[in-house]
C-alpha cells in the first residue's frame, strides 16, 4: 500500500455501528439478555448467515441480502426468530426483532465530534454503513456528513469494492484520497483494496490519534 503521507488525503469516511456507537458485540449481548435468547444459538445462526464475504454463495446468505435491501425486513425477522430459542423454550417474537436487537446502541460522542471537526477543517465527510433494516437517528447528519451511503439503499454492501468507490464518488474524490474507519477488519480490507487508507477502530482514543496523524490536524 502506498504511504498515506505521500498523497493528499481529502476525505474521512466512517462506519456507523461500532464506530459512531457503542460496540456491536455489547448491543447484541444486551439484546439476547433482554429477550432471554440463548446467546450461543444466536451467534451460531448469525455466523452461518453471514457466510463468506465474497464468492458465488454470498448472494444467498440472508444477512447479505438484508444489507443489500434484497429481502423484506419482516421476512428476515420471521426467519431469524424461527431459528432462535429462549432459555425456557418460548418462541421468539419476530415483529420488531431488528429494532430490539439494536436498541442498545449508544452514541460514541467523541467520534461524532471528530467527524464534525474534520468537516470544519475542510475535509469531505461520509457515512458508509451496512444496514440491518434499522432506523438510524439522523438528526444531526446534515451538520457532519457531505454524503450518506446506507447499503440497503444503494443495493451494495461492504466489503464489496463498488460501495467504497460509490462513496468516494459521492464525495467527489478518488478512493486514494479517503481515510476509512471501521471496526471490522474485513471491511477495512475491502476499503484498502480499492486504494483507501484504512483505520481499524478499536477505541475512540486510538482512532482519533491515527486520524490526527494521517491528516496532520488536531481533531479533538
- At 57, is the pLDDT very low, low, confident or very high (cuts 50, 70, 90)? very low
Partners of 13 in beta bridges: 126, 180
Under CATH, to which class is 24-101 assigned? mainly alpha
Band of the pLDDT at 62, cuts 50, 70, 90?
Answer: confident
Confidence tier at 7 by pLDDT (50, 70, 90): low
Q: For the domain made up of 4-22+105-215, give the CATH fold.
A: Rossmann fold (3.40.50)
Rounded to an integer, the average pLDDT of 164-173 is: 98
Instruction: Pull the grid cell for residue 141.
Output: 447528519
Confidence (pLDDT) at 60: 55
DSSP state, residue 134: P
In whole angstroms, how far apart are CA 162 and each of 102, 190, 198? 27, 10, 16
Give residue limits of the domains in the chain.
Answer: 4-22+105-215, 24-101
In this prediction, residues 198-203 reach a mean pLDDT of: 98
Amino acid at each position: 500500500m502506498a504511504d498515506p503521507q505521500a498523497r493528499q488525503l481529502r476525505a474521512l469516511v466512517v462506519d456507523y455501528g461500532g464506530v459512531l456507537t457503542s460496540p456491536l458485540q455489547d448491543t447484541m449481548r444486551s439484546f439476547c439478555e433482554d429477550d432471554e435468547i440463548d446467546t450461543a444459538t444466536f451467534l451460531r445462526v448469525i455466523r452461518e448467515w453471514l457466510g463468506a464475504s465474497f464468492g458465488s454463495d454470498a448472494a444467498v446468505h440472508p444477512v447479505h441480502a438484508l444489507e443489500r435491501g434484497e429481502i423484506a425486513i419482516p421476512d428476515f425477522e420471521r426467519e431469524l426468530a424461527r431459528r432462535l430459542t429462549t432459555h425456557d423454550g418460548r418462541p421468539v417474537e419476530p415483529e420488531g426483532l431488528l429494532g430490539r436487537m439494536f436498541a442498545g446502541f449508544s452514541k460514541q460522542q467523541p467520534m461524532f465530534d471528530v467527524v464534525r471537526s474534520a468537516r470544519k477543517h475542510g475535509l469531505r465527510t461520509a457515512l458508509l454503513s451496512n444496514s440491518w433494516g434499522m432506523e438510524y437517528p439522523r438528526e444531526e447528519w446534515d451538520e457532519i456528513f457531505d454524503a450518506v451511503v446506507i447499503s440497503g439503499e444503494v443495493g451494495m454492501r461492504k466489503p464489496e469494492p463498488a460501495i467504497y468507490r460509490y462513496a468516494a464518488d459521492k464525495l467527489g474524490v478518488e478512493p486514494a484520497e479517503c481515510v476509512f474507519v471501521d471496526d471490522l477488519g474485513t471491511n477495512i480490507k475491502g476499503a484498502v483494496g480499492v486504494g483507501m487508507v484504512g483505520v481499524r477502530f478499536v477505541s475512540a482514543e486510538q482512532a482519533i490519534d491515527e486520524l490526527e496523524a494521517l491528516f496532520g490536524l488536531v481533531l479533538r
